[in-house]
A and B are shown apart, each in its own frame.
Chain A
Amino acid sequence: GESVGLHLPTLSVQEGDNSIINCAYSNSASDYFIWYKQESGKGPQFIIDIRSNMDKRQGQRVTVLLNKTVKHLSLQIAATQPGDSAVYFCAENFRPDTGRRALTFGSGTRLQVQP
């Protein structure tokens, strides 16, 4: 099974509302996490990252929260816009089978912004 997963496969929000995308990870040895956005027909693009020595990190309209106690990661998007419609992936940087660090991705959440 996957070590990184998401609670909701599709999230539909109204334009202007805040969006919250959740992610659960299973490996306590992971110390770095990234959120990526993938628009249709394109490769994933970096949104924001967070290291395990932090609980929260803010970017432009985005905030990532990390709860190491329950191994949970969330991406909050403020004032969601139509251009935010995409698939969002979380990733962690531990490879449990080899011990070598490389990013492992979850299955993704599709965010649909309704006008």
Chain B
Amino acid sequence: DADVTQTPRNRITKTGKRIMLECSQTKGHDRMYWYRQDPGLGLRLIYYSFDVKDINKGEISDGYSVSRQAQAKFSLSLESAIPNQTALYFCATSETATGELFFGEGSRLTVL
């Protein structure tokens, strides 16, 4: 089983709908991250959390919100999805702030 699990893996939705992407991890790491990947733009940081009470905005947090329900769970929400939020979303964890990131397999979101 994967150490970092994302659900759903694929989702197609319509403009204006609320979407939640969920991430759970079994690595026991305190630090969790949400990244967005677009062709030619690499991975951009949306939000990150260093523990359940510590949530930080990343480079592109507008239009997104997160919830750290427990050490092992970090969810990303799009309150009102728009087409330019069509992308591949990755959750990741790390043991330290300066250490290796462990990524999930990604959630592909299409907003029509």
Contacts and interface: CB of A to CB of B under 8 A. Distances in A.
Interface residues of B, number: 27
A108 B42 contact: yes
Interface in A61-115: 89, 91, 93, 95, 97-98, 100-108
Contacts of A2: 42
A44 B100 contact: no
Contact of B41 (A34, A36, A107): A107
B40 A45 contact: no
Given A98-B56, A100-B56, A105 B43 contact: yes
Interface residues of A, number: 27
Name which of A42, A89, A91, A100 has the most chain B CB atoms within 10 A of its CB: A100
B97 A101 contact: yes
A89 B97 contact: no
A34 B100 contact: yes
Contacts of A98: 56-57
Name which of A2, A44, A91, A97 has the most chain B CB atoms within 10 A of its CB: A44
A44 B98 contact: no
Given A43-B4, A100-B97, A102-B48, 12 more contacts: A9-B40, A31-B98, A43-B106, A46-B101, A46-B102, A89-B42, A89-B43, A102-B45, A102-B56, A103-B33, A103-B45, A103-B101
6 contacts: A31-B98, A44-B90, A44-B101, A95-B58, A98-B56, A102-B56
